Structure 1
């Protein structure tokens, strides 16, 4: 029934719970899940596509939790989400044809820069500020760029959405986290639709992992809403640095 043995499944379930918890707060759930899936024998395509399956449930749970608490209006995000979905699907279509070595080499340093920005920039809190970019321009340029990247590669997508929403859209950290989950859910689904046709998804294993993702995401989102920027900022910095370190070591 399952693509792995029960002892391996137990490891993957625990991993998915941790990924859902961290991802709901600061992004970076793929940093936790993908290496473990590769370690237990998944091929890169199986790991990426199965991760999109179970991560979609975690993102949906976190987005719903934030929406229920009033931190994001999901209906108002339908057009940005649609753009993110389509851009990610395009990235997934081209994942085997576009050269990505240059992006992979540059990515760790970009993540380190993001961590430095959130760690050292004063005054970053849960209060909204004046946006540096008009909302329509943001949706037509920044959202598709990050969504495309998520379908093509994926690591750090949450950090990129967070940086853009805080620095360009002027959102407070908690609000940016909530909107990140909505946009990341759309990009996860966009890539998942394509991988469902061309990938090798571990459906049974992925759906069991999804249950753990949901539990972790609910816990993480609840904690983020209680603690706000005091929790999100340091965790975002740590996750970005860990992801950068992981990419440097594996690259």
Structure 2
């Protein structure tokens, strides 16, 4: 999960003077393959709620393209400082609600479920296209907390939407010349391998294990984003 943070940190360390849009575009060129591979593997083993997910993914695509267009025009410094605080809130809430996400009990059905999923897809799509780090974790958290999914089904659903948001941002940023393909394709190989391995482990061990991984990933994101925001 959140391979984008690792690759983003590596690129920033090697190319500190590069435009943020170029680093984001190069990250997307790598992360989309791992996300798509995980989504395909999840969809074969998890009963996906496609009626709600496809509209949500399409709105996520639109939102991400708008966000990616925005990052070529405006800096995202305000989000850089807000992100660790928001992630800390997500972590504390998850830790306080020990049973959250252990049982799969969707709260909505029909149009209500589609509307809720579309709201998640559009909002996180905008964020993912504009900024990126933590998007997968936010998707999982919202599907668990708001939609009533367990962590396994939430992760599977998040991968579907995240694949479309990555694709949208990549298309726009590539069209504007903000992708270093020679770096992105090399990183994509490692991204796919890690995603496939992580998905197999998640499917084997279930929602309880995914919850633990989610907590670990969000904790690491808090440390990483806090250092980026306040110590540099």
TM-score by length of 1: 0.82
2:48 partner SS: coil
Asked if structure 2 preserves the Cα contact closer than 8 Å seen for 1:83 and 1:143, the reply is yes
Q: 1:173 aligns with which of 151, 167, 182?
A: 151
Residue 24 of structure 2 corresponds to residue 34 of structure 1: no
Asked if structure 2 preserves the Cα contact closer than 8 Å seen for 1:126 and 1:175, the reply is no
> Whole-Å Cα distance in 2 between the matches of residues 232 and 226 of structure 1?
10
What is the CA distance between 1:117 and its match in structure 2? 1.9
Distance 1:100 1:51, change over 3 A: closer
Distance 1:73 1:170, change over 3 A: closer
Residue 65 of structure 2 corresponds to residue 65 of structure 1: no
> Whole-Å Cα distance in 2 between the matches of residues 236 and 155 of structure 1?
14
1:94 partner SS: helix
Distance 1:52 1:139, change over 3 A: same
Aligned position for 1:145: 123
Aligned length in residues: 225
What is the CA distance between 1:115 and its match in structure 2? 1.2
TM-score by length of 2: 0.89
Residue 218 of structure 2 corresponds to residue 244 of structure 1: no
Distance 1:100 1:132, change over 3 A: farther
Q: 2:195 aligns with which of 213, 217, 220?
A: 217
Distance 1:208 1:98, change over 3 A: closer
Q: RMSD between aligned alpha carbons? A: 2.0
Distance 1:215 1:73, change over 3 A: farther
- Listed as ranges, the matches of 1:55-204 within 5 Å are 55-72=31-48, 77-98=53-74, 100-131=76-107, 134-204=112-182
Structure 1: segments with no counterpart, 5+ residues = 1-22
> Whole-Å Cα distance in 1 between the matches of residues 13 and 75 of structure 2?
25
> Whole-Å Cα distance in 1 between the matches of residues 72 and 96 of structure 2?
38
Structure 2: segments with no counterpart, 5+ residues = none
Asked if structure 1 preserves the Cα contact closer than 8 Å seen for 2:27 and 2:184, the reply is yes
> Whole-Å Cα distance in 1 between the matches of residues 183 and 78 of structure 2?
33
> Whole-Å Cα distance in 2 between the matches of residues 209 and 96 of structure 1?
23
